[in-house]
């Protein structure tokens, strides 16, 4: 594809380009910088801003090929993005992170020492003023950068106040302001560090395994045992666990986790595949080129960490209003200065609404995300805390979410062959599939010590069934929808069997040889112990609950009635689930969808918030925006935590607005001097910053404790 970009500036030795592509690709700034440096000779430095989408390259004109650089931009593909991820040196990225992480702490320590010098009066006033101005350089730099972008914001106000106070010979007031600003940065850094650690620990929830091809057989092994050159096979719905090249087979690979592509990509012999992507359909045999920490998958934790600090809509609106107050504040300060009262002018400049919002919001988001992580809930981005709070409709898949996800085979009806043959053929077709019903059929055969046969040319139809050859004969197993899809007629006699099974609440699988139905398999999937309680609790929280399942009308109605769900959709297959959610969104509803299977991925993708259970299929976990523990009680906790987070943020905004308005009025009319104005403005920032840390120091919340106590009776 041709990358849409524009040249911001181009001169000998320096080029700057801008593209939204750099904002949204899942490669970090350090990853892009590393890639450009390693692929182009003559590069002196690279600066990347994902916030603005700008890439600035300083180069040696004698050795840098400008034409080649623009050709690169014109030919970027999703594979280029994956290559960036795969080649980026993780250790360098971590070192950079550690370096950045310690910066605020170092500044705070230096400012604290300077405060000690100021209070003890060890240094003369002039020396202390010079020290204050030196320590305020990070603030001055931010103000300078804002002015370069033709913005007058809070950093300009802070810089002006610090400079005036220091130059007027009142360095203690100036130093106090610098110290409080550094304290706010340090608190934010500590909170984000705790949240990142919790997220890292949570993301290590699954020991990955792969199917290793060895000496003509296939065995399940830990990915830690894989080496470069090993051959692995990947089946439908599974995660690809190595970076490598396809040497046999073909399939549709979902690369959204790494490239953001909405559509799966066809991979065949000779194509590259990457760890962390998913096989939606087909079967791939892959030779491993990179394993473990060398793969693109090893970069996922960092990507999630970066997205966690994404600005909320609420924050954007509040910061926009705060920035609009900057000009009136400057006008008031200028008026006070014209009257000859520099103290009033300085005190007025010190007060701003932006700092408190800017510091407390990411702290609140990260602390609540960390709190959620300790409860086993992963929010993949801070903005999903905000969206979860707004959700008014929760759509549930049935199998594995409202039900235990371990269907029980309740009945086998042989029609043209023996009961043992029905079980043997059905289990052979279903082997190695991750769907709960497939697992139940295979387990049923194993319980009866029935040996499975070899299958060939197997093909999985998502949400419908399986087709394969056994001893050269074509067999099918699946739902009535699958029969319709394959043009297989269901005789009246078999329909009567089916209706009787439906009346008992059973779902039915059809086993077909050629075009003839040779057996029926009935199964049920009982509700989870906590499902009814969860539905009732969501109703009490003002959220509508809807059931959306691929099961027949009888099974869907029965489970809905048992759980107290008023609205349900039966025979809703993958595309239909997605269509239903789109329709609900058109009605103005904010929709969360909870599912755990391969066939849930389309619905998870289109929902405002996609939620998956940790024990679900890999692709469902990857596509989901929020991942919860095995118990559905975690779902209610996720809603409660999002509500707590938004209440905390709104509370902080109110405190910030009231305190700073009083400070601004008091400063302008001369009731408050610069020292008190500094204490009010920065003290408020620290106060709401500490309040934003509430999940870290409070530990227990009444709402969460109540859920946990009620859920103890449902412990498995």
Tell me which DSSP letter residue 712 carries.
Answer: G
Q: What is the mean pLDDT of residues 348-365?
A: 81
The CATH fold of domain 5-92: Alpha-Beta Plaits (3.30.70)
Question: What's the Cα-to-Cα distance from 593 to each of 133, 311, 527, 624, rounded to whole Å?
Answer: 53, 23, 18, 9
Q: What is the mean pLDDT of residues 406-416?
A: 90
The pLDDT of residue 232 is above 90:
yes
Q: Binning pLDDT at 50, 70 and 90, where does residue 294 land?
A: low
Q: What is the mean pLDDT of residues 248-255?
A: 85
The CATH fold of domain 209-294: 2.70.150
Count CB-CB contacts under 10 A for residue 529: 15
Residue 650 CB contacts under 8 Å (≥ 6 apart), including other chains = 314
pLDDT of residue 1: 44
Name the CA radius of gyration of the chain, rounded.
30
The pLDDT of residue 100 is above 90:
no
Question: What's the Cα-to-Cα distance from 382 to each of 67, 71, 387, 626, 693, rounded to whole Å?
Answer: 40, 36, 9, 10, 15
Q: Binning pLDDT at 50, 70 and 90, where does residue 245 land?
A: very high
Q: Give 679-710 pLDDT, tens digit per residue.
A: 888 788 888 888 988 887 776 788 888 888 88
Tell me which DSSP letter residue 9 carries.
Answer: E
- Core vs surface per residue 133-167: b (16+ CB within 10 A) or e: bebbebbbebbeebeeeeeebbbbbbbbbbbbbbe
Count CB-CB contacts under 10 A for residue 571: 15
| Weakest-pLDDT range from 10-24, 50-64, 272-286, 548-562 | 10-24
CA pair distance 470, 456, nearest whole angstrom? 6
The pLDDT of residue 168 is above 90:
no
Which three-class secondary structure state does DSSP give residue 661?
A: helix
Q: Binning pLDDT at 50, 70 and 90, where does residue 307 land?
A: very low
Give the chain's mean pLDDT: 81
- Intrachain domains 5-92 and 376-397+529-636 with the same fold: no
Q: What is the mean pLDDT of residues 47-64?
A: 80
pLDDT of residue 489: 92
The residue among 10 and 262 whose pLDDT is bigger is 10
The pLDDT of residue 194 is above 60:
no
The pLDDT of residue 202 is above 50:
no
pLDDT of residue 475: 96
Q: Give 561-605 pLDDT, tens digit per residue.
A: 889 999 999 888 777 888 899 999 999 999 999 987 656 777 887
The pLDDT of residue 263 is above 60:
no
Question: What's the Cα-to-Cα distance from 19 to each of 6, 34, 35, 50, 390, rounded to whole Å?
Answer: 7, 18, 17, 10, 31
| Weakest-pLDDT range from 321-335, 532-546, 632-646, 659-673 | 321-335
User: What class, spelled out in words, does domain 376-397+529-636 have in CATH?
Assistant: alpha beta
- Sorted by where each begins, the domain ranges of the chain are 5-92, 103-202, 209-294, 304-370+641-713, 376-397+529-636, 408-524
Q: Please report where in the chains the tokens 């999703």 appear, as a residue.
A: 78
- CATH code: domain 408-524 is 3.40.1110.10
| 570 contacts 481 by C-beta, under 8 angstroms | no
């Amino acid at each position: 594809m041709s990358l849409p970009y524009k040249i911001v500036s181009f001169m000998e030795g320096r080029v700057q380009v801008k593209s939204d592509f750099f904002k949204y690709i899942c490669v970090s700034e350090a990853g892009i910088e590393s890639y450009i440096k390693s692929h182009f000779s003559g590069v002196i430095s690279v600066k990347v801003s994902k916030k603005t989408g700008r890439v600035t390259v300083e180069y040696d004109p004698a050795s840098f090929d400008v034409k080649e650089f623009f050709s690169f931009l014109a030919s970027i593909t999703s594979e280029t993005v994956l290559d960036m991820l795969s080649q980026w040196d993780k250790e360098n990225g971590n070192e950079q992170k550690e370096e950045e992480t310690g910066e605020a702490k170092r500044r705070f320590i230096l400012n604290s020492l300077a405060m000690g010098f100021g209070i003890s009066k060890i240094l003369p006033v002039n020396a202390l003023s010079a020290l204050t101005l030196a320590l305020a350089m990070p603030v001055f730099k931010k103000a300078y950068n804002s002015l370069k972008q033709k913005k007058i914001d809070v950093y300009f106000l802070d810089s002006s106040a610090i400079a005036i106070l220091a130059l007027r010979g009142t360095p203690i007031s100036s130093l106090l302001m610098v110290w409080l600003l550094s304290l706010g940065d340090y608190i934010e850094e500590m909170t984000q560090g705790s949240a990142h650690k919790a997220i890292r620990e949570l993301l290590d929830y699954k020991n990955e395994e792969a199917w290793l091809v060895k000496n003509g057989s296939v065995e399940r092994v830990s990915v830690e045992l894989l080496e470069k050159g090993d051959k692995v096979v990947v089946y439908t719905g599974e995660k690809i666990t190595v970076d490598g090249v396809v040497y046999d087979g073909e399939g549709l690979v979902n690369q959204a986790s790494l490239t953001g592509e909405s559509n799966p990509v066809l991979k065949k012999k000779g194509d590259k595949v990457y760890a962390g992507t998913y096989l939606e359909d087909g079967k791939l045999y892959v030779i491993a080129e990179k394993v473990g920490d060398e793969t693109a998958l090893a970069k996922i934790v960092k990507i999630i960490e970066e997205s966690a600090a994404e600005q909320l809509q609420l924050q954007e609106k509040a910061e926009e209003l705060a920035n609009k107050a900057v000009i009136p504040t400057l006008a008031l300060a200028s008026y006070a200065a014209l009257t000859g009262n520099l103290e009033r002018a300085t005190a007025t400049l010190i007060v701003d609404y932006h700092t408190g919002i800017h510091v407390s919001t990411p702290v609140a988001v990260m602390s609540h995300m960390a709190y959620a992580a300790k409860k086993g809930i992963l929010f993949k981005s801070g903005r999903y805390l905000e969206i979860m709070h707004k959700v008014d409709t929760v759509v549930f898949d049935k199998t594995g979410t409202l039900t235990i996800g371990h269907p029980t085979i309740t009945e086998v009806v042989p029609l043209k062959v023996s009961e043992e043959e029905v079980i043997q053929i059905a289990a052979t077709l279903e082997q190695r599939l991750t769907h709960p019903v497939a697992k139940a059929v295979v387990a049923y055969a194993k319980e009866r010590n029935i040996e499975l046969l070899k299958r060939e040319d197997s093909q999985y139809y998502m949400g419908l069934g399986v087709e394969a050859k056994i001893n050269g004969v074509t067999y099918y197993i699946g739902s009535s929808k699958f029969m319709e899809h394959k043009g297989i007629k269901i005789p009246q006699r078999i329909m009567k069997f089916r209706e009787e099974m439906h009346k008992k609440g059973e779902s039915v699988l059809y086993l077909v040889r050629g075009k003839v139905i040779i057996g029926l398999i009935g199964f049920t999937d009982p509700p989870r112990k906590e499902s009814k309680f969860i539905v009732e609790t969501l109703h009490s929280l003002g959220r509508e609950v809807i059931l959306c399942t691929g099961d027949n009308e009888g099974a869907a109605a029965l489970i809905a009635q048992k759980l107290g769900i008023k609205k349900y959709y039966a025979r809703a297959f993958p595309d239909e689930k997605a269509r239903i959610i789109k329709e609900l969104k058109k009605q103005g509803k904010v929709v969360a969808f909870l599912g755990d299977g391969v066939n849930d991925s389309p619905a998870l993708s289109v929902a405002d918030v996609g939620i998956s259970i940790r024990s679900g299929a890999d692709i469902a976990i990857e596509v989901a925006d929020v991942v919860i523990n095995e118990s559905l009680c975690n779902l209610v906790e996720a809603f409660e935590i999002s509500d707590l987070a938004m209440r905390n943020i709104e509370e902080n905004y109110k405190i910030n607005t009231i305190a700073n308005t009083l400070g601004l009025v008091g400063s302008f009319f001369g009731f408050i001097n610069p020292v008190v104005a500094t204490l009010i403005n920065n003290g408020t920032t620290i106060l709401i910053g500490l309040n934003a840390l509430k999940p870290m120091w409070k530990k227990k919340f009444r709402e969460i404790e109540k859920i946990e106590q009620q859920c103890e009776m449902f412990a498995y």
